[in-house]
Structure 1
Amino acid sequence: MTDPQIGIMMLAVFILCIFLGFPIAFTLMALGIGFGYFAYFDAGRMWRGYERLVEQGEQGWQVWQAYIEGFVNNRIFDLFVNQTYSVMANEVLTAVPLFLFMGYIVERSNIVERLFSTLYIAARRVPGAMGVAALITCTLFATATGIVGAVVTLMGLLALPAMLNARYDQSFASGVICAGGTLGILIPPSIMLIVYAAATGTSIVRLYAGALLPGLLLAGLYIAYIVIRSIVQPSAAPKPTNDEVGDVPLGKLLVMIVTSFVPLAVLILAVLGSILFGLATPTEAASIGALGGLLLAAVYRALTWERLRESVYLTLKTTAMVCWLFVGSWTFSSVFSYLGGEQLITEFVTGLNLNTLTFLILAQLIIFLLGWPLEWSEIIIIFVPIFLPLLEIFGVDPLFFGILVALNLQTSFLTPPMAMSAYYLKGIAPPSVQLVQIFKGCMPFLLFVLVAMVLLYNFPQLVYWLPDTIYG
């Protein structure tokens, strides 16, 4: 077998291990070191060292010790150590634990429940008011956390029972929660975009600026769907009765907005504004966000030792997972590229005579399919770098490609049979809500993800306008 064929076999073994359920990070490291040992093994140098010692008159254990050292002294081990150090010293990845900590501490500050109640009262005259309030709350909370599981779970505990009590259709209510909860991987400060920036070398600042309008566009499409369906099909989102709506004085409503919406909005604007306008690096802004999350929790009297310890534990757990994935992925991809597997894939794709549009469709289709068995982190860290050499060939900007990928990955959380958002929601939903109903509710929102992707391709200024306006 040639080296490129061995590289393709390496990729095939990895995919097989995924389906067998092996831990992905450690599988990547094991395959990278195993195949890398073969790739970098130099039998001739080992034997030359052995023969030189024999010629010099060395005998016995010294000769065999040199032979064993030559067998063990393989460049893959140096590569593995260097990749581990590079990940730990990566300044972009330093922002990951800080943003995660901000998200987990905000999740436990009891602000989301107040925010949802306030938005529902403010929008009570709008068709599908509770669904609109739930989606806006999801959007704001996703902006503050970037953690899909946390948003879906918390909103499922707060908003789903309230919507069901208001006689909302179970599928419709479930779809709103699932779709709104996934916006965190697109809207800044998204953890996914930080990981993409680190994996591809793209500017995280421009990525954040480029993702803001598409994220708000998708959220706007979701809200429009909720309102229109509530008008066309009133049984899906019945209008509240006079007793349910109540009469909240304007002054009280303003106080509720000031105490629930404004603090979270100020925190989000402080973090995003400091990044987008160059006042702070993403890491520094994440530090501001983490401190702001602690202050919010203290103000709302939710900062307990138990919650702080839990937030730190979850932050360390998720950060370790991301970092070890990077170590394994970079070791795996370095060996894969050294064997010629990356070049073989590039030659195969270029041999298909694709144009830019068909290449983008093919790439997004592959990422869509990968979203079934894999998490977004594995897709971004492992498979997206394979597409990078092809982007220059087909004239695709990595910034634009990254935003399309972030949009596409919304579908991986919503598409059966591996729709993680649906499983998150099912885990905390009332027993009457069936998984099939949740899947059914997610389907219409998938259509709007596709609409957003088509709009982005036809109007790329949705991505470029804000970065070009701010940074030139």
Structure 2
Amino acid sequence: MTDPMIALSMLGLFILMVFLGFPIAFTLMAMGLGFGYYAYFDERRMWRDHLRLPEDAGWWDHATTWVDGWLNNRVFDLFINQSYTVMSNEVLTAVPLFLFMGYIVERANIVDRLFSTLNIASKNVPGSMGVAALITCALFATATGIVGAVVTLMGLLALPAMLKARYDRSFASGIICAGGTLGILIPPSIMLIVYAAASNVSIVRLYAGALLPGLVLVGLYLAYVIGRSVLQPSAAPRPRADEVPDVPRMELLRMVVTSFLPLAFLILAVLGSILFGLATPTEAASIGALGGILLAILYRAMTWQRLRESVYLTARTTAMVCWLFIGSYIFSSVFSYLGGEHVISEFVKGLDLSPIMFLIMAQLIIFLLGWPLEWSEIIIIFVPIFLPLLPHFGIDPLFFGVLVALNLQTSFLTPPMAMSAYYLKGIAPPEVRLTQIFAGCMPFLFCVILAMVLMYLMPGIVFTLPQIIYGS
């Protein structure tokens, strides 16, 4: 069996282990070390060291030489070097800080105030409660970037209110599931930071490039919610007078100032400082983490227990991402050394695809991978397989990264492995069935596909803002 065949067997075995439910990070490391031991084993050096022993050497010297020959493998040096490389990566330093900001904001009792205010402010808009829930999801997802937290919290807060207001169960569920996934795409997205570290694309350009597509997707979601509310009033009945209080204008203004503006200012301060070069992503994330603490104190929601939970969740999630990176780097290094990357590259080039066909094929594969895998595994493990092929097809890695971020929205919304639906089902009232949640997600899935088509047809949606701010 040739080395490239062994590399492809390595990839196939890994996919099998994933479907069997083994922990992905440690599976990557174990397979990287196992196959790497074979790849980097130097039998000639072991024999050479053995033959250099003097003739009067004893059995202990021979045994020690054999043991050193077996254990002195470069794969262990690779493991140490890759671990150090990941831990010292300046881009990844922003991950725990943004996560900490998100977990603090999640526990600061901001979201319930924000949803109540937007619900009152938009009461004259068709589907007002759905619009308020979607905007709240978008802002909260932007501040946290944690899909499970957004869907769960909004499911506890907004779903019962919409069901009480006689909203269609599928419609209400779809709004929360779709809105909760926006943090994957809209900056400051944790996913974009991970992609920047994996692809060496500038994170500030990625943030600038992803901003307009994120707003386009939010606009499509809002258009669908309002349009369906107009065409099918029974799905989103107008609120009765006793359901939404009539608040005086000055009181409503005060509610907006105290609930909407602080969170919006924090997001704009963090994002603006990154986009306009006032701070690096790590520095901006530090500002955001401090701002989240100050918001929690301002809303009198900061307690020792909440701070402790935020630190614990931040450390746990960061460790998961970093171990995935270490395992992925070892796995991909061995895979490439054995020639697997070259085989895949030559196979794809031999298909004689056009750039648009390559993009469609790559996005279809990522779409299918989104069923069994989380976004972090897809970005860290499988996206780097496509990155070396981008220059051959003349595709900008910035455009590819934003397209992948948009595509990964579908992995949370597509049955049967729609994780947003399972997050919501876990806290939804018993009468809300999983099939109803799946049905509610499907129209929003078509909105994502429409946004991807718009990006294909009008790449300026991605490139305009980075070119205006940073030049070509």
Structure 2 runs not aligned, ≥5 long? none
Superposition map of 1:40-55 within 5 A:
40-53=40-53, 55=54
The residue identity in structure 2 corresponding to 1:296 is L
CA distance, structure 2, for counterparts of residue 29 and residue 243 of structure 1: 59
Does residue 61 in structure 1 map to residue 81 in structure 2?
Answer: no
Deviation at 1:86, TM superposition (A): 0.3
- What residue is the counterpart of 2:108 in the other structure? 109
In 2, Cα distance between equivalents of 1:190 and 1:246: 35
SS in 2 for 1:260: helix
For the pair 1:393 / 2:392, whether they are aligned, the reply is yes
* 1:30 equivalent in structure 2: 30
**Amino acid in structure 1 at the alignment position of 2:451:** A
Corresponding residue SS for 2:201: coil
C-alpha distance in structure 2 between counterparts of 1:268 and 1:60, whole Å: 69
Q: Find out whether 1:8 has 2:8 as its counterpart.
A: yes
Give the C-alpha shift of residue 52 in structure 1: 1.2
Measured against aligned partners, the alpha-carbon deviations of 1:150-195 in whole angstroms (never above 9, x if no partner) come to: 1101100100000000000000000000000000000000000000
Whichever residue aligns with residue 265 of structure 1, its letter is A
Partner of 2:261: 262
Alignment-mate amino acid for residue 325 of structure 1: L
Deviations 1:392-446 (A, max 9, x none): 1111100000000000000000001110000000011001101000000000000
Residue segments in structure 1 that go unaligned for 5+ positions in a row: none
What aligned pairs does 1:317-328 form with structure 2 within 5 A after superposition? 317-328=316-327
Output the amino acid matched with 2:369: L
Shift of 1:229: 0.1
TM superposition shift of 1:129: 0.3
C-alpha separation between the residues in 2 aligned to 1:67 and 1:299? 66
Count of matched residue positions in the alignment of Structure 1 and Structure 2: 471
Q: Distance in 1 between matches of 2:160 and 2:297?
A: 28
Q: How far off its partner does 1:44 sit?
A: 1.2
Alpha-carbon separation, structure 1, partners of 2:354 and 2:419: 33
- CA apart distance, 1:247: 1.5
Alignment-mate amino acid for residue 192 of structure 2: L
- Cα drift, residue 63 of structure 1: 1.8
1:245 counterpart SS class? coil
CA distance in 2, matches of 1:349, 1:283: 37
Residue in structure 1 matched with residue 367 of structure 2 by the alignment: 368
Structure 2 SS opposite 1:306: helix
Q: Verify: 1:329 aligned to 2:332, yes or no.
A: no
Partner of 2:461: 462
AA of the residue aligned to 1:377: S
Secondary structure at the counterpart of residue 415 of structure 2 = coil
CA distance in 1, matches of 2:55, 2:291: 69
What one-letter code is carried by the residue in structure 2 that aligns with 1:334?
S
Tell me the residue number matched to 1:183.
Answer: 182
Q: CA deviation at 1:371?
A: 0.2
Report which stretch shifted further, 230-239 or 57-66: 57-66
| Cα deviation 1:68-117 (Å, max 9, x = unaligned) | 10110000000000000000000000000000000000000000000001
Q: Whole-Å Cα distance in 2 between the matches of residues 291 and 347 of structure 1?
A: 49
Q: What is the RMSD computed on CA atoms of the aligned residues?
A: 0.6
2:281 matched residue in structure 1: 282
The CA deviation string for residues 115-169 of structure 1, in whole angstroms up to 9 with x for no partner, is 0010111110000000000000000001111110111011001000000000000
Query: What CA deviation, in whole Å up to 9, does each residue of 1:305-334 have, x standing for no partner?
Result: 000000000000000000000000000000
Alignment of 1:424-435 (within 5 A): 424-435=423-434
Q: Give 1:202's aligned residue.
A: 201
Q: Which 10-residue stretch deviates more, 436-445 or 63-72?
A: 63-72
Listed one character per residue, the Cα deviations across residues 228-259 of structure 1 (whole Å, up to 9, x for unaligned) are 00000011000112232332100000000000
**Matching of residues 58-457 of structure 1 within 5 Å:** 58-457=57-456
Query: Helix, strand or coil for the counterpart of 2:297?
Result: helix
* CA–CA separation in structure 2 for the residues paired with 1:95 and 1:399: 19
Distance 2:396 2:161 in 1: 44
Look up the SS of the partner of 1:357 in the other structure. Answer: helix
**What is the CA-CA distance between 1:56 and the residue it aligns to?**
4.6
SS at match of 2:181: helix
Q: Counterpart amino acid of 1:45?
A: R
2:52 is paired with a residue of what secondary structure?
Answer: helix
For the residue of structure 2 that corresponds to 1:416, the secondary structure is coil
Distance 2:367 2:282 in 1: 30
Moved over 3 A (4+): none
* Deviation at residue 200 of structure 1 after TM alignment: 0.7
Q: Which residue type is aligned with residue 275 of structure 2?
A: L
Aligned counterparts of 2:181 and 2:161: Cα–Cα separation in 1: 20
Length-normalised TM-score, structure 2: 0.99
Give the Cα–Cα distance (whole angstroms) in 1 for the partners of residues 69 and 420 of structure 2: 51
**Alignment-mate amino acid for residue 42 of structure 1:** D
Measured in 2, the distance between the counterparts of 1:5 and 1:243 equals: 69
Aligned-residue identity in percent: 76
Cα shift at 1:64:
1.3
Mapped partners of 2:252, 2:97: distance in 1: 33
Report the CA distance between 1:62 and its aligned residue: 1.2
1:31-81 per-residue CA deviation (whole Å, 9 max, x = no partner) reads 00000000000111101111111x453221012101210110000000000
Other-structure match for 1:20? 20
